[in-house]
Amino acid sequence: MTRRSGSCFRCCLVVLAVISALCVSGPALYWKLKREPTSSISCTPCICDCPPPLSLIKLAPGLVNLSVTDCGKDDPDLKEEMEKQFVDLLSEELKLQKTVGEEHIRHMNITFGEARRVASQYQKEAEKCNTATETCEQAREQAEALTRQEKKMTSLWERRARELGWEGE
């Protein structure tokens, strides 16, 4: 039963694919076959009653009267800024750059001071570690010296005990 339903399903899919292909490509094939050869067709000139395109003057008549000199004439801040001389503008720019540079230097000095403080703190910690290491090393050397001395003493007492008849373990 499943084999028959599978083959029926495949058949339906094939039919659906053929119908889809015809729907997509059918109109294009129809118009291609219906069209006559281009050599016998003569085109007549198009007659168009379209109005001429509108110009900018007709769309916005007030726009033509505006000029660059009228720009911002009602804004006092803009007017004052536009009246400045080129040299004044350059000097203002240099002052601004100087201020920014000073801010940058101040920030760098703060950062540098912080870095020096942290480096000093690390240096102090390193010195503490070095001192502690040296102290430990001296204590170890003293312990080794004491151990050598104890071994010598033990060896001496053992030798004396053997001479007096001790046989050992």
For residue 138, report the phi and psi dihedrals to the nearest 5 degrees: -65, -40
pLDDT at 6 (0 to 100): 79
Q: Give mean pLDDT in consecutive 10-residue pieces for the chain, a chain of 169 residues.
A: 77 90 82 65 68 67 58 71 76 93 95 95 94 95 96 94 84
- Three-state SS for 15? helix
pLDDT at 83 (0 to 100): 72
pLDDT at 66 (0 to 100): 55
Between vectors from CA 80 to CA 78 and to CA 86, what angle results, nearest 5°?
Answer: 105
Give the domain ranges of the chain. Answer: 90-162
Q: How many helices (H) and strands (E) does the chain have?
A: 5, 0
Signed CA dihedral, 25, 29, 32, 34: sign only: negative
pLDDT at 40 (0 to 100): 52
How many whole angstroms separate alpha carbon 5 and alpha carbon 12?
10
